[in-house]
Chain A
């Protein structure tokens, strides 16, 4: 899928550890290697606490990794500081989960949307009204909304404003962190339609974090499944449903309640809960919940291995079938 398009952001061996009490460490990301291609969407899916938001925070330089590099067009952005870092920020923008708390409640929509442009000196104050109207129209909101405050918009409208703000600087990459999780399904659908339309028009690269694997596969060109800080499978979105091999990916798909599902079939789910990222088991992170556990899983962590172009997974079962 991706041979033709260029890599604009690449994470190489990214590891993030947070210090915890008693000299221990919480391993939030463990040796993550991912690439983002121009104009494509990378979906990141996993349960809460798997490190997907931490990873995206590293991508937008809100935090720095403990080890590893993040290359934006060849430059390592984790080493950037001061004015260089500030100038870099306009290339990667972010949309947060809860638009109600990511806006200043006392700022009008006009000021919210235009603030990044003013910060970078792209427009003059007198141009605000005109620019804001254009940006609001881009996200299919009436221009009159610029005089409103965030609290007088609905959740879906606020999320549209958040998208307008993120796109104001014409970034190459936007990161959507659970951007539709707080919305109703019907509103979610319209926001997804808007995002994909803008992506096609402007050739934006999108990082899409989400816990709903069904939603991810419908919007992402490439899907990465995370479990306890490790990427366990990476697969093109359209193949997810049919070709996924990792037991965790399958378990995630099996526990979805689909309105088209067969109701006589009992719902599959993995019993128990993920172990604490403070004391990870030796070997495969998924071993304790996996139905296919073998001896080797307790001793050695599986490595990512390519199955087909664009599709790789980390599981000892694969070695077995390969042999």
Chain B
């Protein structure tokens, strides 16, 4: 059975359909990327899966099935249980989702305590262990820092560590490396691939970086103006796609030793 299945999903903001007839089948342990230009509706799709559409956004048609249950029929309470346990999300800048006046340790413990009935001390230790498991250096020091004291790459790894605490079956990633430098980006990408290898986590990623998408994904979906323009395996999209738009996008990616303009 598919882990995640979207059938004919239409999402509208204030009754204007933004994403139309979106279909997706995703198996567990699969990495799928949504690529496309800004405004093509990539982020809207993954936000809808977690019920996190911003003001005025609503799924107006179709079905979102997660392990066979219809997420759209969920109540707020059911959503809250699902978020951060079976499905987690990493944002472009994990620092922005953390309260800047609280230390990482506090935020992490608070998150764990909303999902588990354990003591504060146990939650703190669990958080530290999680950071260590994600191979963050000096986890104790990080727990005792504010988010702004960490570098962008560190913050992103803390975000991933938090998201992975309950070994979610599905990890949604919204431009997880876009705010990072190339060297840090490579570290994060490698870590995300390892998550799949070690924990069999399925990853649905939104990115505009075709290179990153191609490196990580088993399957790519190219979006344009709220519709699926092209889709297929990595080999198909990169080498044998006949779609004009896909070809145009691929051609625009600068490449070392590739086209020079001067």
Contacts and interface: CB of A to CB of B under 8 A. Distances in A.
Nearest to A252: B182
Nearest to B237: A259
A259 B262 contact: no
B151 A267 contact: no
B106 to A, nearest CB: 24
Nearest to A200: B262
B262 A196 contact: yes
B252 A214 contact: no
B96 interface: no
B248 A237 contact: no
Contacts of B187: 269, 271
Contact of A237 (B183, B250, B262): B262
B68 interface: no
B121 to A, nearest CB: 31
Interface string B222-262: 00000000000010001000000000111111111111111
Interface stretch (B53-61, B77-85, B203-211): B203-211
A258 B151 CA distance: 25
Contacts of A256: 182, 211, 256
A219 B261 contact: yes
B262 to A, nearest CB: 6
A186 interface: yes
B38 A48 contact: no
B260 A237 contact: yes
B255 A193 contact: no
B183 A266 contact: no
B111 to A, nearest CB: 25
Interface residues of A, number: 48
Nearest to A206: B262
B261 A218 contact: yes
B12 interface: no
A270 interface: yes
B interface majority secondary structure: helix
B256 A273 contact: no
Interface in B53-91: none
Contact of B181 (A211, A254, A259): A211
Interface in A272-293: 273
Q: How many B residues are at the interface, by size bracket?
A: 35 or more
B214 A257 contact: yes
Contacts of B7: none
Give the most central of A184, A242, A254: most B CB within 10 Å: A184
B252 A189 contact: yes
B254 A263 contact: no
B252 A185 contact: yes
A259 B190 contact: no
B252 A212 contact: no
A251 B255 contact: no
Contacts of A188: 252, 254
Nearest to A197: B261
Contact of B234 (A238, A255, A263, A268): A263
Contact of A266 (B181, B190, B255, B261): B190
A256 B152 CA distance: 18
A179 interface: no
Given A214-B256, A266-B190, A257 B261 contact: no
A252 to B, nearest CB: 6
A258 B261 contact: no
A267 B190 contact: yes
B163 interface: no
Given A212-B254, A219-B262, A241-B256, A263 B249 contact: no
Given A269-B190, A273-B184, A186 B256 contact: no
A217 interface: yes
A106 interface: no
A259 B214 contact: yes
Nearest to A189: B252
A186 B210 contact: no
A252 B257 contact: no
Contact of B253 (A185, A196, A242): A185
Interface of A: 41, 47-48, 155, 184-189, 192-193, 196, 199, 211-215, 217-221, 237-238, 240-242, 251-261, 263, 266-271, 273
24 contacts: A47-B183, A184-B37, A184-B38, A184-B208, A185-B37, A185-B208, A185-B254, A189-B251, A212-B182, A217-B260, A218-B255, A218-B260, A219-B262, A241-B256, A254-B186, A255-B185, A256-B211, A257-B189, A257-B214, A260-B258, A261-B215, A263-B214, A269-B183, A273-B154
9 closest A-B pairs by beta carbon, nearest first, are A257-B211, A269-B186, A255-B186, A189-B252, A241-B257, A184-B37, A196-B261, A215-B254, A47-B181
